[in-house]
Every structure is written in structure tokens, then in C-alpha cells.
Amino acid sequence: FSGPQLKVVATMSSGWDNVDVAECRRRGIEVCKTPDIAADAAADIAVALILMTSRNIVQGIDAIRQNLFHCWKPFWLCGSGLINKTIGILGFGRVGFGIARRIKPFGVERILYNDLEEIEYAENCAQYVSLDTLFSSSDILCICCGVNSLTKGMVNSKLLQRMKRTSILINTSRGVVVNHDDLAEALSDGTIAAAGLDVTDPEPLPVGHPLLTQPKCVILPHMGTNTAETRVAMSVNTAKNILAVLN
């Protein structure tokens, strides 16, 4: 940090885990973030990952690039549809609600969620269940929770083993929520069917990490908020946060 002239640290993100908030508090420095703006874009990318993993889209793109597509085959690259599936959402905040709102028209049978407590606005679109039920019942499980002492490293081999062998794990929250070594093992031994990650720990994953060569794992470069509209809105909001503190 600079000297005593520093009054505010404004981060253009929905979280502030990249800022030493405790040190800022100690020095009387205000910390600002932009939590309300990026939820729609993040929910969009979660749905994109659901479709990419469930329908083997990346494998299809690779097949075209490698000239492996020569004729129609009845069961080649067959994925799984969303009709009558159960979608689970861990953390039913802005992003979780956005996923539920977007995924319902696909014809899913149930949308389940788990959070610290039941959420009133979720009543008409999702059902509150225990953490164990969420992991054991979901065909596709979306992680949207914040990072804290309860969620850091939460998704480990113990929880992954409760999932169906046909299930898919999606993480658009923060990489530290998932134990990536346990996830790689779960994909390798068929504990779960696939995973779609917009976030990892660390970012990027080190060269040679088993997830990078796992054919059933789609990894994006933390691009959940990467729309021009969202980034402009986040920039403007960050500037307004700074002015609000200084004024």
C-alpha cells in the first residue's frame, strides 16, 4: 500500500478476496466492489458450461478441427439432454437465481438449492434441500456460493462421492471452493461424468495438472463477466464507488 494519502481501494469485481480487507480496515481505508452488475453475465456462462459439458460440444469442435467427422454415426459424441433433469445450485444468490431463471425453460424437472438458510424469493423456482440431498440428487450441480471459512475447500472427494456417476459439476464461483486434485480423481475414476470450470485454484492451473488433460473437463479462463456491456458497467460503478467515498 501507499502512505496515509490512500483513502479507497476499489476493485472491479463481485468479490474482494483479492484485497487485504483486514489491513484496509486497520488503516481506515474504504474497500469497494461491484457485486450487483456481473450476475447476469456469470449466470450466462454457467448455462454455457452446462450445455458444453452435457452435449460434448468441445469434443465436437475438436473432432472437426482434427478431421474426424466423415459421416453420421448413431451414437457418436452422444451427450445428455436437460429434459426431466434435476439441477442443483449451491448458493442461491444473484448468480444462482439467474441460473435457475435461465435453465427452467429447458424443461428440467426440478431445481434444488442449498444456502445458509431458505430464501424467500426462491419459493416459486427452486426447492431448498440439505447439502447431502443437493449433491446426491442433482444431475447437474452448479457452484455459485461465496468464499468463506465454510465453503473454502468444501467440494472434496467426500462430497463428490455422493454425486451420481452421470452427474456434472459446474463452478463459476471461486476456484478455492473445489479441491481440484479430488475433482481430477473423480473424473478419472468415473465418480462423476464431467465438469465445467470458469474458475480454478490457482489461476491458471499449473502446466501438467491432470485436469488440463481430462477430456471430460471444460476449463475457461475466468470469463464469466466478459461481456463488453458488463465490463463498461463495472468500470462506471467502480468510478462511482471511488467518488462516493471521496465525496
Residues with catalytic function: 222
What is the Cα–Cα distance from 189 to 81, expressed in whole angstroms? 23
User: What distance in Å separates the CA atoms of residue 67 and residue 5, rounded to the nearest whole number?
Assistant: 60
Give bridge partners of residue 195 from the DSSP assignment: 169, 217
The tally of CA atoms less than 13 A away on the side-chain side of residue 189 is 9
Cα–Cα distance, 158 to 48 (Å, whole number): 27
CA-based nearest residue to 177, from 56, 57, 95:
95
Q: What contacts 241, CB < 8 A, 6 or more positions away?
A: 8, 10, 32, 33, 34
State the residue for C-alpha cell 435461465.
102
Closest CA to 170 of 198, 135, 189, 136: 198
Q: Return all residues near 223 (Cβ < 8 A) that are at least 6 apart.
A: 45, 198
